[in-house]
């Protein structure tokens, strides 16, 4: 990395620490380098996606110095949920890591990751993602022009609201923000509550003003987006896994010189492996950060957990055809 780029990267990380906007400006990249914009919607400094994105930029900017240069735009500062996939196809951004729950308009198959209580923990999800069927799903949207470079795990999801949610009937009549996922909508309806799809950037305000009563997310998102400040408590339901499709477009990948593409893909694999190895520790840190900051967490008894599982299991049948029974079976056995 040359001196100018090193300086710019340091400024970028300082900006992140202060919660400011984009990490970079194009001035960081030397002329002649392929400039790669990585846009995502999460924030803070301890979030798994923030760390993985910054690692990727650091590695590419060092190991492919002079050939390729990655700029990271966190916190929906370049594109938010609603525009980023379209922007990738238009070539306005080259790398994204959207939640797997946000691809419903392109494929029903990734709905597997939203099936409630299919993945008991992150280890089971990783086993599925790294086995044959999981790898196949990485490229379930190749007809659209999307290329899955890897899965970045974020954590298990938990429900929060302004009252303890110990059994599904506690959620009856409440409004929950969900991602744009038909499976998530069906799951909330199965709880007798109403789903409100909404972009991630709008969730804090919607919870604060009472537009919605609750939400579901990982410890890392609940902490870094401060949802715990505007919710009485979060319940350790672990009802779904939240993971990202670290992705690019066929057009971008094909535009690279073969040797650059090969080195770039090797860095992507290595960053992905490292991200998934450290994700559990990051989730635990952010759970402890919530507790230290005064957030309240409710645990479930085995009987209460069974009530959640029983209420949500019928949702699987509804989506089995679109996802594929073979994928669901493989995930269950992972």
- Provide the binding-site residues for ligand SIN, judged by CB under 6 A: 41-42, 99, 154, 179, 200, 217, 221
**80 or 304: whose CB is closer to ligand SIN?**
80
Q: Which is nearer to ligand SIN, 8 or 207 (CB)?
A: 207
Q: Report residue 253 CA to chain centroid gap.
A: 22
Q: Which is nearer to ligand SIN, 154 or 235 (CB)?
A: 154
Shortest Å, Cβ 1 to ligand SIN: 28
Q: Which two tokens stand for residue 118?
A: 């299919």
Q: How far is the CB of 189 from ligand SIN (least distance, A)?
A: 18
From residue 132, give the alpha-carbon distance in Å to each of 100, 161, 202, 243, 326.
18, 38, 36, 18, 12
User: Quick one: 322 exposed, middle or buried, by C-beta within 10 A (0-12, 13-18, 19+)?
Assistant: middle
**Of residues 140 and 217, the one with the C-beta less far from ligand SIN:** 217
Please give the Cα distance from 134 to 68 (Å, whole number).
29
Shortest CB 229 distance to ligand SIN, Å: 16
d(CA 47, CA 286): 8
- Residue whose CB is nearest to ligand SIN in the complex, by number: 200
For ligand SIN, the closer of residues 28 and 240 by Cβ is 240
Q: Which is nearer to ligand SIN, 28 or 79 (CB)?
A: 79
Contacts of 14 (CB under 8 A, 6+ apart): none
- Evaluated on CA atoms 85, 88, 92, 93, the torsion sign reads positive
- The answer to whether 74 and 22 are in contact (CB under 8 A) is yes
**Where do we find the tokens 């507790």?**
291
State the nearest-atom distance from the C-beta of 175 to ligand SIN, in Å. 15
Q: How far is the CB of 158 from ligand SIN (least distance, A)?
A: 12
Sign of the torsion angle spanned by Cα atoms 161, 163, 167, 168: negative
Residue nearer to ligand SIN on the CB measure, 221 or 289: 221
Minimum CB separation from ligand SIN for residue 327, in Å? 22
Minimum CB separation of residue 257 from ligand SIN in Å reads 31
Q: Which residues pair with 38 in a beta bridge?
A: 72, 95
Measured between alpha carbons, how far is 220 from 251 in angstroms, rounded to an integer? 33
When the beta carbons of 217 and 334 are compared against ligand SIN, the nearer one is: 217
The neighbouring-strand residues paired with 155 are 242
| Sign of the C-alpha dihedral computed for residues 114, 117, 121 and 125 taken in this order | negative
Residue 48 CB, nearest distance to ligand SIN (Å)? 9
């Amino acid at each position: 990395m040359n001196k100018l780029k090193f300086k710019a990267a340091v400024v970028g990380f300082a900006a992140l620490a202060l919660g400011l906007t984009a990490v970079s400006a194009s001035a960081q990249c030397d002329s002649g380098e392929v400039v790669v914009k990585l846009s995502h919607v999460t924030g803070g400094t301890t979030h798994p996606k923030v760390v993985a994105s910054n690692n990727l930029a650091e590695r590419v900017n060092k190991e492919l110095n002079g050939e390729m240069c990655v700029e990271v735009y966190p916190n929906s500062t370049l594109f938010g949920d609603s525009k980023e996939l379209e922007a990738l196809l238009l070539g306005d951004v080259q790398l994204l890591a959207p939640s797997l729950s946000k691809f419903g308009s392109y494929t029903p198959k990734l709905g597997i990751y939203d099936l409630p209580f299919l993945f008991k923990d992150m280890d089971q999800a990783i086993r599925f993602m790294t086995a044959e069927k999981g790898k196949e799903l990485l490229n379930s949207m190749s007809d659209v022009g999307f290329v899955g470079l890897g899965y970045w795990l974020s954590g298990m999801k938990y429900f929060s609201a302004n009252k303890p949610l110990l059994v599904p009937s506690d959620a009856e009549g409440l409004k929950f923000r969900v991602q744009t996922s038909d499976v998530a909508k069906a799951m909330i309806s199965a709880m007798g509550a109403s789903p409100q799809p909404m972009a991630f950037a709008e969730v804090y305000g919607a919870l604060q003003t009472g537009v919605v009563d609750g939400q579901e997310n990982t410890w890392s998102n609940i902490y870094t987006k401060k949802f715990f400040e505007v919710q009485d408590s979060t319940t350790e339901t672990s009802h779904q896994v939240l993971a990202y499709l670290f992705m690019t477009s066929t057009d971008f990948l094909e535009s690279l010189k073969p040797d650059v593409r090969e080195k770039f893909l090797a860095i992507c694999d290595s960053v992905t492996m490292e991200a998934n190895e450290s994700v559990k520790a990051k989730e635990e840190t952010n759970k402890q950060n919530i507790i230290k900051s005064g957030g309240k967490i409710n645990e479930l008894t085995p009987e209460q957990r069974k009530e959640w599982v029983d209420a949500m299991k019928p949702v699987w049948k509804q989506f089995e055809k679109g996802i594929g029974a073979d994928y669901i079976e493989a995930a269950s056995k992972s």
